[in-house]
Amino acid sequence: MDLIFGLLGGLALFIYGMQNMGEGLQKSAGDKMRRILEILTSVPVVGVLVGTVVTAIIQSSSATTVMVVGFVNAGLMTLKQAVSVIMGANIGTTITAQLISFKLAHFIFPMVTAGFALNFFAKKRSIKYIGQVFLGFGILLLGMDIMKDAVAPLRDYPGFREFMTNFSDYPLLGLAVGIIMTVAIQSSSATIGILIAMASQGLIPLHGALPVLLGDNIGTCVTALLASIGTNLTAKRAALAHVVFNVVGSIIFLSGMKYFQMLVVYISPDDISRQIANAHASFNIINTMIFLPLTGLLVRTVQWILPGEVETQQPGAIYLDPRMLKTPAIAMSLATKEIIRMAELAKQNVVDAMEGFINKDEKKLKDVFDREKIIDNLEEAITAYLADISQKGLNPALSNRHTGLLHAVNDIERIGDHAENIAQMASSRIESNIPFTDKAIKELSEMGELVLNTYVTAIKAMKNEDENAAQKVVQLEKDIDIMEKKLRRSHMGRLNEGRCYPAAGVIFLDIISNLERVGDHSHNMANVVLGNM
């Protein structure tokens, strides 16, 4: 029992320390890591470097891969970009193994003491975060030391030594053990830590440890696969690319295991801990070097395995050509086209948010949240483009049009926000299983249809500069206000009669309020066409 609790307790400290260290590094870096991933270029080598750096900082290849899957699903990253970042993430995760392979036992308690002091007494947040990093690393090393001591008695058990010997005779067994351990613990760094602890006590030789190490790399793909559930086809392909990358790489290295071992021994000192850490790094670096020139082939392979057409939303602007800024009239026309595209995305969010609420469709709601990121990105890009246009000298007519477009961009962005609010309330309804009467659902559907009709007409008015359509929006917006007041009175009647669940009542009022605001912003868009700003 002492052995089991010693191993599990040491592992718990190791994982806890690693999480604390990663948290401290992430906090000290702010939100820069996520931003770096978002602005990633399409050059695969840059993607590998970014994936390596980000993972080295957040101390988790799984976290990086999950972020990448999320970005791909939101349309902020292409599949090719995602593949290169995933390769880099595999390299970045080897940093932890490198750190724990050095003989740092004498620094454990000074590091814990210094980290605690900085984290507990420092006034500046940046210093506190540095303290958290030191404290986390100290706890990680303490857990590592405890695991080494806990497994030491196993050397005296012949049955265990025989089982470990089988890893050398049957590499596939070692591979399977590595996969199972990492899937169970959800951290390849932690399983590498266990491997180093056992090897340092002479419980497993290098040629027995290498297959387990390869299995660790395959096992870490499970987190990304789980994150891809419910995402679009491209995001699923990104998660699959992670699996293919590690599985094919492991097969290649298993086939040439003798040469891999020779390389590790050649580049490493006569220390099993350093050899395992260097083997971990060597596998991921060499595997990346093999696959990097074949990125296009890897992408086509996962597309072949998961066939189908992907309906993707272009994350950035399509029509905003900076070369046209010299001709403000044309640039304004391009900005208008991009605004209409943004408006269509916001319209789809209103549709999906209401359908997601009425039909309890979580997939629709997820689409709303993903699409909202694209709408926000477009709002920033269009506003910046319009700001550039304003520097070019506009005649009075263009200047008035320019002001109107700026207002329209803001109104459309707010419509996207209201759709997101409705989607969040729909999520609350689903999660808490809040009941709604058929009457309430019918009323919300009717108001949703009226609001959507008003907004679609406003988009048509802007697109065609149709004043008749704009006048129709003005009238429809009055109808929305009347309906909102009517539904509010109807709801209060149901509430007073005890026919309405209180939590449902709050959501009902919030939804009709958000729908009414969509009508207001549609009215504002119509006023842009009518020149009433």
In a domain, 63, yes or no: yes
Whether the per-residue pLDDT at 242 is higher than 90: the answer is: no
Tell whether 276 and 127 lie within a shared domain. yes
Pick the closest to residue 273 from 160, 89, 144, 93 (CA basis): 144
Tell whether 300 and 336 lie within a shared domain. no
Greater confidence (471 vs 42) lies with 471
What is the total residue count of the chain? 533
**What are the pLDDT digits (tens) for 492-508?**
776 666 666 667 778 88
Whether the per-residue pLDDT at 446 is higher than 70: the answer is: yes
Sign of the dihedral defined by the CA atoms of residues 483, 484, 487, 492, in that order: negative
Sign of the dihedral defined by the CA atoms of residues 331, 333, 339, 341, in that order: negative
Pick the closest to residue 128 from 111, 148, 114 (CA basis): 114
387: exposed, middle or buried (C-beta count within 10 Å: 0-12, 13-18, 19+)? exposed
Quote the percentage of the chain above a pLDDT of 90.
17
Categorize the per-residue pLDDT at 520 as very low, low, confident or very high, splitting at 50, 70 and 90.
very high
In a domain, 311, yes or no: no
In a domain, 317, yes or no: no
160: exposed, middle or buried (C-beta count within 10 Å: 0-12, 13-18, 19+)? middle
What pLDDT, on a 0 to 100 scale, did the predictor assign at position 70? 65
In a domain, 314, yes or no: no
Tell whether 130 and 266 lie within a shared domain. yes
Cα separation, 121 vs 448, in Å, equals 54
Check if the beta carbon of residue 358 is closer than 8 Å to that of residue 441: yes
Domain hosting residue 268, numbered range: 2-305
CA distances from 451 to 111, 350, 364, 501, 512 (A): 61, 9, 19, 25, 10
Residue 463 tokens read as 């697109």
In a domain, 372, yes or no: yes
Cα separation, 361 vs 512, in Å, equals 19
Whether the per-residue pLDDT at 488 is higher than 80: the answer is: yes
- DSSP assignment of 290-322, as one string? HHGGGHHHHHHHHHHHS-S------SS-SS--G
CA distances from 355 to 171, 321, 365, 438 (A): 52, 36, 9, 15
Helices (H) and strands (E) in the chain, counts: 23, 0
What is the count of structural domains for the chain?
A: 2
What pLDDT, on a 0 to 100 scale, did the predictor assign at position 30? 45
In a domain, 413, yes or no: yes
Ranked by mean pLDDT, the top range of 39-48, 305-314, 450-459 is: 450-459
Whether the per-residue pLDDT at 345 is higher than 90: the answer is: yes
HSE, side-chain direction, 13 A CA sphere, residue 191: 30
The residue from 279, 305, 331 where one domain ends is: 305
Tell whether 292 and 420 lie within a shared domain. no
Tell whether 241 and 367 lie within a shared domain. no
Mean pLDDT along residues 287-313 = 82
- DSSP assignment of 110-128, as one string? HHHHHHHHHHHH-SSHHHH
In a domain, 310, yes or no: no
Pick the closest to residue 387 from 332, 440, 323, 453 (CA basis): 332
Whether this model's pTM surpasses 0.85: no
Residue 342 tokens read as 């943004």
Check if the beta carbon of residue 95 is closer than 8 Å to that of residue 56: yes
Tell whether 269 and 345 lie within a shared domain. no
What pLDDT, on a 0 to 100 scale, did the predictor assign at position 449? 93
Which element (helix H / strand E) includes 66? Answer: helix 61-74
Helix (H, G, I), strand (E, B) or coil at 270: coil
The residue from 272, 305, 338 where one domain ends is: 305
The residue from 305, 332, 359 where one domain ends is: 305
**What are the pLDDT digits (tens) for 47-85?**
788 778 777 766 667 667 777 776 676 555 778 888 888
Residue 218 tokens read as 């395959």
Tell whether 38 and 137 lie within a shared domain. yes
Neighbours of 479 (CB within 10 A): 14
Cα separation, 514 vs 506, in Å, equals 12
Pick the closest to residue 375 from 424, 320, 316, 427 (CA basis): 316
Tell whether 335 and 294 lie within a shared domain. no
In a domain, 315, yes or no: no
What does the mean pLDDT of the chain come to?
Answer: 80
Pick the closest to residue 328 from 409, 391, 381, 383 (CA basis): 391
B/e letters for 357-380, b = 16+ CB within 10 Å, e = fewer, are bbeeeeebbbbbbbbbbbbebbbe
Tell whether 39 and 108 lie within a shared domain. yes
Tell whether 82 and 213 lie within a shared domain. yes
Categorize the per-residue pLDDT at 163 as very low, low, confident or very high, splitting at 50, 70 and 90.
low
Categorize the per-residue pLDDT at 31 as very low, low, confident or very high, splitting at 50, 70 and 90.
very low
Check if the beta carbon of residue 281 is closer than 8 Å to that of residue 98: yes
Whether the per-residue pLDDT at 227 is higher than 80: the answer is: no
Tell whether 280 and 335 lie within a shared domain. no
Tell whether 277 and 350 lie within a shared domain. no
Cα separation, 161 vs 155, in Å, equals 7
Domain with residue 483: its CATH number is 1.20.58.220
Neighbours of 320 (CB within 10 A): 21
